[in-house]
Each structure stands twice: as structure tokens, then as C-alpha cells.
Amino acid sequence: MEPAFTEARYNAGYRFAPLEAERLASWQDPQPNPALAIRALNPFIPDSLELTERVDTPSELPIALLEEPGFTLWYQQDQQFQRPRADLYLAIMTHLALASPENAVMVELYTRILNDQLNSLLYDASLAGLNVSISSNMRGIGLQISGYNDKQYDMLKQVISALKSPSPSQARFDRAVLQLHEQLINQRQNGPQQLAMQQLFTGLMSRWSTEDRLNALAEITPEQLQQFLNELFMETEVRILAHGNLTPDTALSMSEQIRSTLLSGSNPVTGIRVPVVDLPLDQRLIDTLSLEHTDATLVRYLQGSDRSLEQRARVALLNEVISTPFYSRLRTEKQLGYIVFAIYLPMSDVPGIALIVQSPVADPLKLANEYDLFISQMLTELESLTDAQLEEFRQGLKSRLLQPDMRLSERSQRYWRELDRDGNFTSHLQLAEQVSLIQREDLIEQLQSLLERQYDIRSFGGLLPDSDEVIEIPDFSGTETLQLRRQENLFH
């Protein structure tokens, strides 16, 4: 339609014309627009902010209210923070999740579809101070409900119902696939040291690389996902933690809701763990990555020999001693890179230390020589470590181990981590006791022991190796050795 006039100030054209009869009729008989309707009251706003009935004999640590093969409920009523809040943690573990990269990807698609399906519900809950997290992990599904306890049971019923009967429509499936694909593609853009660390965990724990998961994702169909979900809960190990402003009866009711809705017909299993490959003795494994980055990197992992409290304490204290000089010598003095650190890195409580440098000036062969030199120097310097210096390191580590929980959520998180161990919830206290007993000779012995199990992940980036040695890029001979050890069940 051509304008008849032009507005002087804005140079905008306009014209006058009679209104159409249809438009006039719609204005004279307006219909409600559902999109503009006032929403109902948020159903998750708590009706009560009172503390629940106190138990007669409160426990200092969580207790097993229900303990059956493949199904355990741990419970503790909070007596310290005195807030109308609670944390409910649920882990549903299955061997299926560990079986293949396809299964690992389908578990992740499942949780993404659930979060999409429950999006408006979880949004309302978050506005009312009730936060819900549904996530996947290497062993299966994790659920956390935290916040005001009054409506937690109502939320649990709706989430568990969705877990049992998800709605993986084509649109939701497509969105979940796209989101996961973008996440995996973006992982390729991480820095060299991040990609080397990713390879470390892939080799020793998770088995499935980013490329494995991308290849699996490309082949999965909605029908395949639905068939997988029909089988997902056939054999499970379930672990629940209820902590906070809850009564034992409420915790038991929640666990029964989970069992009756989600696990009817499920066969209980136990001992579902992510195994950690035991590195071979006196054989440094090496993987060489081919990365599109100018920087070189070298991640060297020194693995402990067992999960004992004594060794975990020794390795943690050893890292306390070496981390500062590692940074100061390789970063500050020698300027080998701008990302330089040593970190205590346990895997499923198998202790270890990772030495990490990302460098624009030194290739991995030079970095390896520098690591060897540094470790040799540390063995010498540990011989002259004074009692006063050792005690300072002990106190620094113990202060972190014994740092008190400041919030209910912090304590719940610590309890949940402990459930993956021996379930006595006091390993931090036991570790602190072990740290107090460590002597200089123990640290020397521990460092020598760590040197027996080494795994290097490296990338040359844009730096040519300063050596006559023929180096294949990429080269996953280290990973091949780890795969053979998996087949031989050589795990910690």
C-alpha cells in the first residue's frame, strides 16, 4: 500500500483508510488470549516455614534408615543450622550406562529431554526457593532437590513420574541432540592442557572419548532411545540421602515413592563403580595428541598404588610440598609457560598428582626433561626438609580438611561424596589424623613410589621437537596399553 502523506518530523509515510469489517467485528467481540492470562499461584511456594518435629535421639552422622541389596536410604535430621530447608540426593546407577559410548550418550540425551520437558515446572520451583538438578554421569542418573522442604515431596512425585514416563517428542529429541552435539564440538576448542586432561580421564576412567560420543550421537534415533529407556531401570543400584529439616517418616515416604513409581520390576544389583585402570609399573605411558593450537603441552600423571587412607594422606601432603616450587621454578624462573601448576588429582579415591604446563616456547620433550629435573631436585630437597617446615605443610592441609561446613548444602555435599567411599562420613577426619603422622621419610618414599606409575599426555602444537627421535603425531600407544589392561581387568 502506497502512503498518501509523509510525516514531517520522521519522514514516515502514512495514509487514511476505512477499517475492514472483520477487524471491527473482532474488536467489538474480543476473545481472551491464553498467552496473556494471569498465571495461577506458584504451587511450590511453601505453606510452612516451621521446623519439623525433632527426633528423640538425633544422630551425629547420617544413618541407614533403609538398607537392602541395591537400595539404600541414608538420613539425618539437621540439628545445627535450624532452617526450614533440606537436601534430597538420588543416584540411580546401572551397568548399562557404562557399557558403550552409545549408552553413555543416550543417558545424557535422556536427562536433557527430561530437563526440557520439566522446564516450566522447575522454573516455578526455583522462584519458590526449591532447586532441582537432573543430570547424567558415568554410572547413570543423578537427581538433587534442595531448598525449602515443605513442597519437596510434591516436587519429587512429579519428577519421578517424568523419569518413569518421559515424553521424548521429535522436537525434544532434536533439541537434545543439537545441544549435546554443540557441547561436544565446543570441547574440541578447549586449550591444549584441558584437552590433555580430558584424555587423561578418558584413558584411566571413562573410556569414551569426545570423538566416540560424537560418532555415537550421529547414529542414535528416537526409536533406539525409546528402546534403551525401556531397559534402563531393569537392573539398578539406588542410593538416597535425605538431610535437613525432615522427619524419618518423610524420608521413608520419599524413598517408597521412588521405589514404587520408578523401580517396580527392577532387579537390584550392587557394586556399580567406575573402575580406574592401574598404570603399569616402571613403564611411562605416552599419548601424543594432534591439536590445532600453537602452544605445546605436557600433562604427567603420577598414580598411587592403592586407595588406603595412609597413601591418600601422603600424596595430598606431597602435593602441598611440591606445588609452589613447581610453579615458581617452571613459570617464574624459567618462564616455560603461562599455565603451570601441580595438582592433587585423585580418581575414585586412587590418589595421584598431575604436573601440567602449557607452553608457547618449550616442546614436550624439553618439558619432560624439566619435569624429571624438578622431581630429582625435590627428592634431594625433601631430605633436608625441617620438622618446622613439615609441620607448616601439615597444618595447611589439615586446615582445609577440617574446615567446618558453613551451610546445610555444604554438609549435604560432603555426605554425598562420602557415600562413594566407605559410608562412615568421617574420612576427612581420618585423613587429617593420617596427615599428622607423616614424616619426611614417608614423603620421600611416596614420591619414589609415584614415579613407578606414570602417564604422559602431550601435544607439540606449533613447536618442532628438538630431537632426532622419530615422533608419530598422533600416537595413542599409551591408550592402547590401557585398553589391554582393561581387558585383563587390571584395575584399582
**In the predicted structure, residue 1 carries a pLDDT above the cut 80:** no
Rounded Cα–Cα distance for residues 414 and 408 (Å): 10
**pLDDT tens-place string over residues 452-474:** 999 999 999 998 877 777 888 99
117-121-122 Cα angle (round to 5): 90
Q: How many helices (H) and strands (E) does the chain have?
A: 17, 14
Rounded Cα–Cα distance for residues 342 and 327 (Å): 7
**In the predicted structure, residue 291 carries a pLDDT above the cut 70:** yes
Residue 122: predicted pLDDT: 97
Q: List the domain boundaries for the chain.
A: 63-268, 285-487
**In the predicted structure, residue 422 carries a pLDDT above the cut 70:** no
Q: What is the bridge-based pairing of β-strands 12-14 and 5-7?
A: antiparallel
99 Cα distance to chain centroid? 19
Instruction: Say how many residues make up the chain.
Output: 492
Residue 67 CB coordination number (10 Å): 11
Residue 261: predicted pLDDT: 93
User: Considering only CA atoms, which of 261, 258, 236, 248 is closest in space to residue 69?
Assistant: 236
- Residue 261 has phi, psi (to 5 degrees) of -80, -45
Rounded Cα–Cα distance for residues 67 and 69 (Å): 7
| Superfamily, domain 63-268 | Metalloenzyme, LuxS/M16 peptidase-like (3.30.830.10)
63-268 and 285-487 in the same fold: yes
Residue 228: predicted pLDDT: 96
Q: Give the DSSP per-residue string, 207-263.
A: ---HHHHHHHHHH--HHHHHHHHHHHTSEEEEEEEEEES--HHHHHHHHHHHHHHH-
One-letter identity of residue 224: Q
Q: Give the DSSP per-residue string, 175-213.
A: HHHHHHHHHHHHHTTS-HHHHHHHHHHIIIII---HHHH
Which residues does residue 93 pair with via DSSP β-bridges, in sequence order? 140, 237
Per DSSP, the three-state class of 333 is: helix
Residue reference for cell 522442604: 149
Rounded Cα–Cα distance for residues 337 and 360 (Å): 6
Whether residue 34 is preceded by a cis peptide bond, meaning omega within 30 degrees of 0, is no
Residue reference for cell 606414570: 454
User: Considering only CA atoms, which of 212, 290, 256 is closest in space to residue 473?
Assistant: 290
**pLDDT tens-place string over residues 96-127:** 999 999 999 999 999 999 999 999 999 999 99
| Superfamily, domain 285-487 | Metalloenzyme, LuxS/M16 peptidase-like (3.30.830.10)
In percent, the amount of the chain with pLDDT more than 90 equals: 87
Residue 40: predicted pLDDT: 84
Residue 382: predicted pLDDT: 98
Q: pTM score, two decimals?
A: 0.90
Least confident of 36-45, 60-69, 439-448: 36-45
